[in-house]
């Protein structure tokens, strides 16, 4: 049934002007653009700290969950399962690894779904816009032939689950002193167990007609290690900021001048951290561990080092 649906969409796609296909390629690309990280960061640094933390937590937890399911189910892409499926060539670059669930859909649901949910009572238009974008991303993955309907639907469910879990966790943290530390310790232990599971579990070793692996397990492990680094850094940065910094945000409190200074300072810090990570590739030769460390350092710099930097500058300016 799922392949029949994809073939039906494929016939429609091939009969339409190429601009329609390009539109959905762009929609998919936006969903995984690295530039999107600026959205939760701007909220966190300048406008609405709790909203930024909620979006970052939801996205990082959702990505961790998505990669866990991908590497557990190990489901191949639609065109591997049925040679009649011809995905859009422009979408193949980002359609690597296992198929189930859709990473693009999960990322869009977690990030935009979290933002829409957070502001649902303040802006119905924003809530609706975020929901429509998530649906557009999910449909684009089917329309382009790179994911089945179940890949998309489960990814959306993952996103909803991540939003619900983070909402509950942030509420639970406020119920008793020390819950933030308990959550941080549990999260770090979970990251260690997650990495161990990803490394030690067996993977299918199927080859195509040319003798190449259909999916290289190491590549999939790299994605999992990235997710572990992002989630671990988000949690640790949140805890340290909460316990030792507690910086203020809000346009009314800061004013545009301080907002601009914060953004510039944070981008400089993030750039320096990125450059500092490059030499680590010569020391950490295993790509999996290098990606874990790199992503941990980069996200930790966004979550904690950047706020420390601009708070220190503001304190000096006051003094």
Residue 4 CA to residue 152 CA, distance in Å, equals: 16
Total residues found in the chain within this entry = 319
Q: What is the pLDDT of residue 209?
A: 83
pTM of the model: 0.92
**Ranges of residues in the chain whose predicted pLDDT is under 50:** none
The token pair at 114 is 């979290």
Rounded Cα distance between 295 and 307, Å, is 18
Q: Which residues pair with 211 in a beta bridge?
A: none
Q: Model confidence over 178-208: pLDDT tens digits?
A: 999 999 999 999 999 999 999 999 999 988 8
Q: Distance between alpha carbon 19 and the CA centroid of its chain, in Å?
A: 28
Look up residue 76 and give its DSSP letter. Answer: P
Please give the pLDDT value at position 223.
94
Per residue in 228-256, pLDDT (tens digit) is 999 999 999 999 999 998 888 887 888 88
CA atoms in the 13 A half-sphere facing the CB of 163: 21
User: ∠107-9-62 over CA atoms, to 5°?
Assistant: 10
User: Is residue 215 within 8 Å of residue 98, measured between CB atoms?
Assistant: yes
**Two tokens at 265?**
């300072």
Query: Residue 318 class from Cβ within 10 Å (0-12 exposed, 13-18 middle, 19+ buried)?
Result: exposed
């Amino acid at each position: 049934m799922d392949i029949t649906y994809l073939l039906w969409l494929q016939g429609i796609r091939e009969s339409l002007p190429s601009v329609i296909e390009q539109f959905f390629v762009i929609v998919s690309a936006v969903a995984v653009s690295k530039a999107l990280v600026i959205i939760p960061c701007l909220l966190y640094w300048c406008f609405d700290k709790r909203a930024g933390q909620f979006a970052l937590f939801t996205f990082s937890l959702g990505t961790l969950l998505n990669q866990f399911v991908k590497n557990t189910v190990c489901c191949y892409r639609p065109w591997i399962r049925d040679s009649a499926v011809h995905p859009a060539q422009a979408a193949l670059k980002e359609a690597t690894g296992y198929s189930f669930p859709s990473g693009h859909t999960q990322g869009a649901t977690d990030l935009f779904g979290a933002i829409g949910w957070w502001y649902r009572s303040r802006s119905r238009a924003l809530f609706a816009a975020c929901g429509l974008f998530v649906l557009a991303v999910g449909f684009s993955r089917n329309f382009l032939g790179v994911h089945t309907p179940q890949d998309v639907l489960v990814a959306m469910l993952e996103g909803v689950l991540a939003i619900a879990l983070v909402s509950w966790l942030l509420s639970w943290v406020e119920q008793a002193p020390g819950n933030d530390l308990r959550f941080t310790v549990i999260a770090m232990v979970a990251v260690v167990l997650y990495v161990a599971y990803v490394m030690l579990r067996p993977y299918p070793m199927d080859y195509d007609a040319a003798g190449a692996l259909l999916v290289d397990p190491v590549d999939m492990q790299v994605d999992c290690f990235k997710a572990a680094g992002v989630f671990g850094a988000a949690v640790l940065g949140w805890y340290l900021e909460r316990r030792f910094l507690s910086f203020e945000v809000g346009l009314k409190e800061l004013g545009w001048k301080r907002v601009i200074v914060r953004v510039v300072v944070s981008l400089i810090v993030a750039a320096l951290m990125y450059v500092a990570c490059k030499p680590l590739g010569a020391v950490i030769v295993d790509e999996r561990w290098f990606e874990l460390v790199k992503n941990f350092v980069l996200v930790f710099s966004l979550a904690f080092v950047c706020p420390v930097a601009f708070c220190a500058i503001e304190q000096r300016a006051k003094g």
